[in-house]
Amino acid sequence: MTDVTLDAFLAACRQLAEDAPARIDRAATPAEFADVRTQLVGRKQGRLADLMAQLATLPPDARREAGRAINEVKADIEQRLDAREAAVAAAARGAHAIDPSMPARRRWQGSLHPVTLVIDEIADIFRELGFTIALGPEAETEFYNFTALNFPADHPAMELHDTLYLANDTLLRTHTSPVQVRTLQQYAPPVRVLAPGNVYRRDFFDATHAPAFMQLEGLAIDEGISFVDLKATLSEFARRFYGGTRRVRFGPSYFPFVEPGAQMDVEVDLGDGKGTRWVEILGCGMVHPNVLDAAGIDSERYTGWAFGMGPARIAMSRHGIPDIRVLYDSDVRFLEQFAR
């Protein structure tokens, strides 16, 4: 290496300082920045490393000024490299930038199903009227589903084509009324229970039927209970559930396990422009003495009443829903109307 003079060294420093910006400004990727950094200010090779080597060959009294010059150039180049690399990286991020002014996407939190809400609300009303919750199995025996409920042995409801039979003489219960018998076998009167649960029927899925659906059974057994108690309690329930202005009515109906049997209708507007109409929301009646006897209850001493309702139909009657099937699909646009 040939010796250099201080002037030549300072000139080389200025030349490097002049060349550097154009080189730096051409770099666009992290790899290009790494290359330029090595070429300009690398410790072992590159133009700054060359100048450092020359520095050692300068006369001792020139090294101080030469050292200051080279450090200045080095600092300038590194600063420009850092600033330019940061700016390029920020611009790249800008392509996928977060826009903090954009409204947040709304979170669907999930909520209770409208049928569940109806069951909970009805259970609250009946709890205040002195009822507790009772549950029974969905796979039932013929005895609880039919026989103990005073169905005649050859009743058509027991036919294979009306009921879904499982193995070992069990069937999918067609109503929650078997819970009446199971409760009375287990607890002595007075009894006031509400029994919610799934029931199954060989029904087609159409606007008003589902092959699996919820029922809510009610049962009140005590001494001296009459049809007046039935009508008063169910009217009070309707008043609390629908509000005092919605009209309800009772009419005669038939179920083998009640005598007399009745149904309660509520006046609804389904919002289809056809005005109001009466919709049956529950079956009810005085518990048949044969049912009390089958459950081991003294039917001379005790009387009572029972009802069974479909909470899906009740949700429909309350919200003016014309088709039961919307309650069984998972269309969030429908379901989220009931979120609370």
In the bound state with ligand PHE, the residue whose beta carbon lies nearer, of 77 and 134, is 134
Q: Of these, 306, 312, 316, 324, which contacts ligand PHE (CB under 6 A)? A: 306
Shortest reach from residue 218's CB to ligand PHE, in Å: 7
- Phi, psi (rounded to 5 degrees) for 113: -65, 145
Contact call for residue 146 and ligand PHE (CB under 6 A): no
Q: Of these, 196, 197, 308, 311, which contacts ligand PHE (CB under 6 A)? A: 308
Question: What ranges in 103-199 are assigned the alpha helix state H?
Answer: 114-128, 142-145, 178-186
Shortest reach from residue 105's CB to ligand PHE, in Å: 44
Residues 21-80 that bind ligand PHE (CB under 6 A): none
Cβ-contact 261, 285 below 8 angstroms? yes
Helices and strands (H, E) in the chain, number of each type: 11, 9
Range in contact with ligand PHE (rule: CB under 6 A) among 8-16, 138-146, 302-310, 318-326: 302-310
- Of 40, 51, 41, 53, nearest to 9 by C-alpha is 51
Shortest reach from residue 311's CB to ligand PHE, in Å: 13
CB atoms within 10 A of CB 188: 10
Q: Of these, 114, 189, 197, 285, which contacts ligand PHE (CB under 6 A)? A: 285
* Rounded alpha-carbon distances, angstroms, from residue 62 to 7, 69, 70: 10, 11, 12
Q: What is the C-alpha R_g of the chain?
A: 43
Shortest reach from residue 335's CB to ligand PHE, in Å: 26
Q: Of these, 23, 47, 113, 175, which contacts ligand PHE (CB under 6 A)? A: 175
Contact call for residue 177 and ligand PHE (CB under 6 A): yes
Shortest reach from residue 256's CB to ligand PHE, in Å: 10
Cβ-contact 196, 216 below 8 angstroms? yes
In the bound state with ligand PHE, the residue whose beta carbon lies nearer, of 41 and 258, is 258
Shortest reach from residue 177's CB to ligand PHE, in Å: 4
In the bound state with ligand PHE, the residue whose beta carbon lies nearer, of 32 and 203, is 203
**# binding residues, ligand PHE (CB under 6 A):** 11
List CB contacts of 145: < 8 A, sequence separation 6 or more: 163, 171, 173, 174, 175, 177, 178
Rounded Cα distance, 310 and 292, in Å: 24
Q: Of these, 255, 292, 302, 313, which contacts ligand PHE (CB under 6 A)? A: 255
Residue least distant from ligand PHE (Cβ): 308
List CB contacts of 69: < 8 A, sequence separation 6 or more: 9, 10, 13
- Burial class of residue 76, CB neighbours in 10 A (0-12, 13-18, 19+): middle
In the bound state with ligand PHE, the residue whose beta carbon lies nearer, of 248 and 258, is 258
Shortest reach from residue 308's CB to ligand PHE, in Å: 3
Q: Are strands 248-253 and 258-269 parallel, antiparallel or unpaired?
A: antiparallel
Contact call for residue 178 and ligand PHE (CB under 6 A): no
In the bound state with ligand PHE, the residue whose beta carbon lies nearer, of 175 and 192, is 175
List of residues contacting ligand PHE (CB under 6 A): 175, 177, 217, 255, 258, 283-285, 306-308
